[in-house]
């Protein structure tokens, strides 16, 4: 797979951000995870849940929506989220 590039986009929910991939990389089917236990077996999701402040994930073929804990600050976690995505998919 060629290197994946990530663009970060806000959503109407200030606690959620969309991490857009420049190519399909997630695969089918789409999936949602609300805790680390529900993400077991999905390496990318498991690694994202290792980041303090990540509360939920919605993963589709070419984007991942990350919902953070209300008290987490985007500047503290966005670079780590992007790094995990790139290390797993890039």
Q: What is the DSSP string of 47-64?
A: HHHTSTTEEEEEEETTEE
Q: Give me the pLDDT at residue 28, please.
A: 84
Q: In whole angstroms, give the CA distance from residue 54 to residue 36.
A: 10
Q: In whole angstroms, give the CA distance from residue 37 to residue 73.
A: 23
What is the value of pTM for the model shown? 0.93
Largest CA distance in the chain: 36
User: In sequence order, what are the residues at sequence separation of 6 or more whose Cβ sits closer than 8 angstroms to the Cβ of residue 55?
Assistant: 15, 34, 67, 68, 69, 72
Q: Give me the pLDDT at residue 2, please.
A: 57
**pLDDT, mean over the chain:** 94
């Amino acid at each position: 797979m060629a290197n994946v590039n990530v663009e970060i986009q806000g959503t109407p929910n200030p606690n959620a951000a969309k991490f857009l991939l420049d190519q399909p990389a997630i695969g089918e089917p789409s999936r949602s995870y609300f805790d680390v236990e529900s993400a077991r077996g999905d390496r990318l999701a498991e690694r994202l849940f290792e980041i303090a402040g990540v509360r939920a994930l919605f993963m589709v073929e070419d984007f991942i929506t990350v919902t953070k804990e209300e008290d987490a600050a985007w500047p503290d976690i966005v670079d780590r989220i992007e790094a995990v995505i790139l290390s797993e998919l890039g």
